[in-house]
Amino acid sequence: MNLPVRKVTADVNRSQPRRVDVNTEPPFLTLEKLIPQLLKRQSTRGQEHERYLRFRGQSGRCSEYVSDHNSSRDFLVSVFPDVNIKPSGESSLAASGFIAVGLFVLPLRNSVAQSCRIVPALKTLKMSTRPELLAPPEIFYDDSEARKYTSSSRIVEIQARLSERALELLALPEDDVPRFLLDIGCGSGLSGETISENGHQWIGLDISASMLNVAVEREVEGDLLLGDMGQGLGLRAGVIDGAISISAVQWLCNADKSSHEPRLRLKAFFGSLYRCLSRGARAVFQVYPESIAQRELILRQALQAGFGGGLVVDYPHSTKKRKEFLVLTCGSVPTSINDGHKGSGSEDDDDDSEDEDNGMVCVSDRNRPRKKQRTNKKGKGREWVLRKKEQSRRKGNDVPADSKYTARKRKSRF
Amino acid sequence: MRLITHNMLSCNIKGVTNGFPLKIEAEKVIEKEVDFNPEFLRHMFAKIEWKALVEAARSLGYAELPEDSPDATAIESSVDDESLLKKLHHALLELHLEEGALVCPETGRKFPVNKGIPNMLLHEDEV
């Protein structure tokens, strides 16, 4: 990869790519020039890919699938966030004022070998320490990455410790009955092994076929499914006794295809998980959120799906050891508070219950006076509109920016 | 893939209301011996769709499960009914669908099964 690599920053959250001043010659790359050039370099057979590609022109994404309709092939284009791609035709990167940090194109459908060659290249560039920003999970976890999960004793140890802790937080009843658990993002089955050691049965779900192949080689005891958690889990309602997931959910916060919308994918995931868990079951996710915004997004979507619960942070003082576990409960669990209340049986309690029995509760205030409509002649007003927009923004919706036209009154002749 | 997993899986395509049970097209079936654990079977029994299980076991070439769902109490309490539990154990945990396909009952979409791993990835237009 001897592409012009000028600036190595990867911050997907930034809405506007940073402008970088270049003293030397600007890298004048047009997509029409660049893509065939790259394809030629990637292609073992040479010249066949010089096709015109249509870009969907979304900046801020790390990588995208692009279909070349003429040759009916899919391409993965990794665009680093500093690159702003315009729809082709006017696609001079330099002209748009942004520096091309890197752009990789690889034909996907018929060539695993090629993806094997390019993903390591991405990794050696060390664009970021976060794997989510390099490539989609099914590409990132290729054969070589998958092998690490068995050969590296450090990774194995960390995974085992994390899954041990996750199981502990799952708080399954200790009655020696094996439970039926779900391991989301099971990968090569390291976390599943911990589940098996504790005597439970499990199903593992992962999007990377390479990782699952490693799991098959290692002869894990659970069943494996190749699937995308962002598409929702296709499981029947109420059958799973608990779910764990080690370092997987944060992948959902990235959009790898133009059809992806992180919020909707998280919603589909948590919604389907909530359905398939049995009542009172727990789900524990070990997550590495990139930012506070991501953490909030994950948590909010989980709570919206109906889960209760929150975050457990281990080693909060250490940046390296710090581990976050999202512990979610599904449906109400009988808490010990009620029991204590019953056991105490104080006089006050008795009095209260007597009142309820006699029906002495005053009901005169039952019909509250209706809220007075606060609208006046002038309508709701700018302030109200701005407040509503802010609310909607906080929910994560796409809201137009405020301007002097916001909530402006129409002319009377309209 | 074991039948216990098959019994939990349903088709996840958008708009499909009744994606369960997935039909099995078996090409290769293998058996692996697993420790018999009556506690787990009793625990799972309430969650299992019996009809789907019988049908699935039949498509893998195992026809010894009774057609009608046995009584829950019979499963709970029985000591002498060990043979039924053994059969259930064999069907649920020991039969593996190694190669073949799962077919959605509503749309007919095929989910291929390779090396015992069903590919449940959906296309973009099915989400």
Residue A274 distance to chain B (closest CA, Å): 14
In a domain, B123, yes or no: no
Is the minimum CB–CB distance between B12 and chain A shorter than 8 Å? yes
> Which residues of chain B does A224 touch, with a Cβ-Cβ cutoff of 8 Å?
1, 116-117
Q: Name the band, by pLDDT with cuts 50, 70 and 90, for residue B80.
A: low
pLDDT score at B39? 86
Structural domain range at position B111: 3-115
pLDDT score at A19? 35
pLDDT score at B67? 82
pLDDT score at A185? 92
pLDDT score at B76? 66
> Which residues of chain B does A236 touch, with a Cβ-Cβ cutoff of 8 Å?
7-10, 20, 49
- Closest by Cβ to A239, choosing from B37, B47, B93: B47
**CATH at B70:** 2.20.25.10
Residue B10 and residue B22 in contact, taking contact as beta carbons nearer than 8 Å: yes
Is the minimum CB–CB distance between B115 and chain A shorter than 8 Å? yes
- Closest by Cβ to B121, choosing from A228, A236, A276: A228
In a domain, B121, yes or no: no
pLDDT score at A31? 43
* Test the B interface: residue of A177, A200, A231, A265 with most B CBs within 10 Å: A231
Residue A79 distance to chain B (closest CA, Å): 21
* Test the A interface: residue of B18, B94, B117, B126 with most A CBs within 10 Å: B117
pLDDT score at A396? 83
Q: How many domains are there within chain B?
A: 1
Residue from B98, B7, B114, B23 nearest A201 by CA: B7
Is the minimum CB–CB distance between A266 and chain B shorter than 8 Å? no
pLDDT score at A367? 57
pLDDT score at B8? 92
- Average pLDDT for consecutive 10-residue bins of chain A (414 residues)? 40 36 34 46 34 29 43 46 34 30 40 44 49 70 79 86 91 87 91 91 92 90 92 90 92 75 90 91 90 87 90 87 90 50 40 42 53 64 91 88 87 77
In a domain, B122, yes or no: no
Q: Name the band, by pLDDT with cuts 50, 70 and 90, for residue B70.
A: confident
Minimum Cα–Cα distance from A214: chain B residue: B115
Is the minimum CB–CB distance between B1 and chain A shorter than 8 Å? yes
The pLDDT of residue B42 is above 80: yes
pLDDT score at A240? 92
- Closest by Cβ to A235, choosing from B10, B37, B121: B10
Mean pLDDT score of chain B, rounded to an integer?
87
Contact B122 A178 (CB under 8 A): no
Is the minimum CB–CB distance between A176 and chain B shorter than 8 Å? yes
In a domain, B126, yes or no: no
Q: What superfamily does domain A147-329 belong to in CATH? A: Vaccinia Virus protein VP39 (3.40.50.150)
pLDDT score at A174? 84
Residue A193 and residue A160 in contact, taking contact as beta carbons nearer than 8 Å: yes
Residue A266 and residue A287 in contact, taking contact as beta carbons nearer than 8 Å: no
